Structure 1
Amino acid sequence: MTGPSLDRIRAAQAALAGRVIETPVLPLASARWDGILPDCASVTLKLELFQQAGSFKARGAYLGIAGLPEVERSKGVVAASGGNHALAVSWAAQAAGVDALICMPRATDPARVAGCKALGATVTLHDDMASAFAAMNAAADQGRVLMHPFEAEHMILGSATCGAEYLAQAPQVDTFVIPVGGGGMISGMAAAIKQLRPQATVIGVEPVGADSMTRSLAAGAPVRLDHVATIADSLGAPLAMPMTFAVARDHVDAIVTIDDGEMLRAMDRFQTILRITAEPACAASLAAILGPLRTRLAGRHVGIVACGSNISLARYAELMRASDV
């Protein structure tokens, strides 16, 4: 079996107790959603956007940093990200008393840059994500501990705690729809779900312009994309990697793709019905059940995830103005 064992997941939950938030779940079966949701027995939403640092990534980032030996803690950590991972590493480093360097593209939403600085991280800005990753690797070569956004055991394990938590909160759910970026979230959640409830169905959802996991599963090996084109920067990983690919291959039942328009419409539903200002990745699960999965979910108890939302009002307004919603 690939992925963390139940013993490791339970130990991680104990380590995170009092450090991360047991994020709430919300049933969506109400009059406000009539005619919008598919014909499911029920739909439940896990609000991981209320997590520390605004996303599920806080779970794995904290496990990774808090678990470092003292000699490595003293060297500090480094990450490259323009999104939720940057904020999660900044938060986890501050919580663990470790120095953090965050390398970000210049085009990053200024609210995210400010958020990392407010959490005590040092931020450097670079021409693009490739340059940010090069700076991260250089800092790691000089001694800092590299915090990868998804291809790391602690990131998969952190997501597994989210999956186990969701099962305990919503035991009726039999079908889970989970966003896919690099694969850290779905691999961890699926590993927990399939061990605790083997009969459950786990479905991933990827942007059609960043479908590296879809292509990798079809090819039977990790695939790198030539080009990424999606508004969902938190789901815009240009490649699948061996560890997360192997866990996803063993535990995920299917993956569907959605386009940017479907995410924008789901963002609008979150805003108009729940008054939640969701970033595109946060709306991906909802977009999938309203779109490509709609006719496949009849009679099922469906669980979706609002994985995180760190988006400024200015960026949100820019995206919605450019859409036809």
Structure 2
Amino acid sequence: MTGPELSEITAAVDALEGVALRTPVLPLTSARWDGVLPDCASVTVKLELFQQAGSFKARGAYLGISQLTPQQRAPGVVAASGGNHALAVSWAARAAGVNALICMPRATDPSRIAGCQALGAVVDLFDDMAAAFAAMADAAAAGRTLMHPYEAEHMTLGAATCGFEYAAQSPHVDTYVVPIGGGGLISGMACAIKQLAPDAQVIGVEPFGADSMSQSFQAGRPMRLDSVDTIADSLGAPFAMPYSFGVAKAHVDRIVRISDAEMLRAMDHYQNILRITAEPACAASLAAILGPLAADLAGRHVGIIACGSNIGLARHQTLMQGLR
């Protein structure tokens, strides 16, 4: 399982033309970054948080929904998520003219629930994520098409368009640092980057409390966690799965882990320097280059990604109190 070929990726780029956004890449060169960034040759960030629905997931969700047959489109799609995937499926379904049912935990950030509803999705709330997933399975059994957040070829392909875009925008980058939740983002980005720049490094980033891909790389097979404990709910996948694990294992050079405190500090830098209100997952790449990777990046041209940010101000303020 090595992922989509370059011809498939370029076809997907064409399919997303005029639908998904070509998100900007920003060099972190202002004086306000002095004393913050490690001793790299350069650092750039791809601002995928400005993507449709606020995250990279819009790319893959649209590709998946646009490929549905008329028989699949009629009953619509279903997803269970408390985060960016819920918003991405809601947006993609509206863009494709398909009905969407989103199953969410009651504790979900209210801004995300409202965002899905504003995009036209039907939102059902449940006591916890397990109950939301059970409801999703029931809806799929009744005829809706299930939209998995990462274990799907169209999600890896959508992420590959992001990697293809980044490599084209910043051909000087030789080290990419990419967050890992379930593995959809890094599997696709790494697959595209390695085909365009085989000598580039792709390094994954996981929270200590949600390191299913790190454990899977060590074991050589997809692993399941006993529990998830991190503030980065968008990175809190409790297990790796075969396709996304296989593609990531084929192309990713290594994975580092970061603490919640390191993500909070990176969120603070984004807020104070770029005036970006980042959720923890959005700040994970920056946290990695300021933390466990800092000593390894001398002379490297580093590319990080702000993968998405759908967080309400109240939730952001509550999290940031942990930094004070």
TM-score range, shorter chain: over 0.9
Q: CA RMSD in A?
A: 0.6
- Indicate yes or no: 2:5 matched with 1:2: no
2:220 corresponds in structure 1 to 220
> Residues of 2 paired with 1:159 and 1:180: CA distance?
12
Aligned-pair distance for 1:324?
Answer: 2.7
Q: C-alpha offsets along residues 55-75 of structure 1, whole Å, 9 cap, x if unaligned? A: 000000000001111110111
> Residues of 1 paired with 2:239 and 2:94: CA distance?
29
- Indicate yes or no: 2:33 matched with 1:50: no
> Residues of 2 paired with 1:175 and 1:72: CA distance?
40
Q: C-alpha offsets along residues 220-241 of structure 1, whole Å, 9 cap, x if unaligned? A: 0000000000000000000000
2:184 corresponds in structure 1 to 184
1:280 corresponds in structure 2 to 280
Task: Return the TM-score normalized by structure 2.
Answer: 0.99
Q: C-alpha offsets along residues 199-255 of structure 1, whole Å, 9 cap, x if unaligned? A: 000000000000000000000000000000000000000000000000010000000
> Residues of 2 paired with 1:113 and 1:173: CA distance?
37
- Indicate yes or no: 2:36 matched with 1:31: no
Q: C-alpha offsets along residues 185-208 of structure 1, whole Å, 9 cap, x if unaligned? A: 000000000011100000000000
2:241 corresponds in structure 1 to 241
> Residues of 1 paired with 2:209 and 2:34: CA distance?
31
The code of the aligned residue for 1:227 comes to: S
> Residues of 1 paired with 2:127 and 2:258: CA distance?
29
Partner SS for 2:323: coil
> Residues of 1 paired with 2:12 and 2:69: CA distance?
17
> Residues of 2 paired with 1:288 and 1:159: CA distance?
20
2:164 corresponds in structure 1 to 164
Q: C-alpha offsets along residues 266-307 of structure 1, whole Å, 9 cap, x if unaligned? A: 000000000000000000000000000000000000000000
- Indicate yes or no: 2:69 matched with 1:69: yes
> Residues of 1 paired with 2:142 and 2:70: CA distance?
17
Task: Return the TM-score normalized by structure 1.
Answer: 0.99
2:270 corresponds in structure 1 to 270
Q: C-alpha offsets along residues 2-46 of structure 1, whole Å, 9 cap, x if unaligned? A: 100001000000000000000000000221100110000000000
5 Å-filtered alignment, 1:194-209, equals: 194-209=194-209
1:79 corresponds in structure 2 to 79
Q: C-alpha offsets along residues 160-189 of structure 1, whole Å, 9 cap, x if unaligned? A: 000000000001000000000000000000
Partner SS for 1:164: helix
The code of the aligned residue for 2:282 comes to: C
Name structure 1 gaps, 5 residues minimum.
none
1:324 corresponds in structure 2 to 323
2:91 corresponds in structure 1 to 91
> Residues of 2 paired with 1:30 and 1:121: CA distance?
41
> Residues of 1 paired with 2:276 and 2:104: CA distance?
26
User: Structure 1: which 4+ aligned runs deviate by more than 6 Å?
Assistant: none
Partner SS for 1:23: coil
Percentage of identical aligned residues = 74
Partner SS for 1:198: coil
> Residues of 2 paired with 1:164 and 1:274: CA distance?
25
Partner SS for 1:172: coil
> Residues of 2 paired with 1:233 and 1:262: CA distance?
15
The code of the aligned residue for 1:42 comes to: S
1:13 corresponds in structure 2 to 13
> Residues of 1 paired with 2:202 and 2:323: CA distance?
31
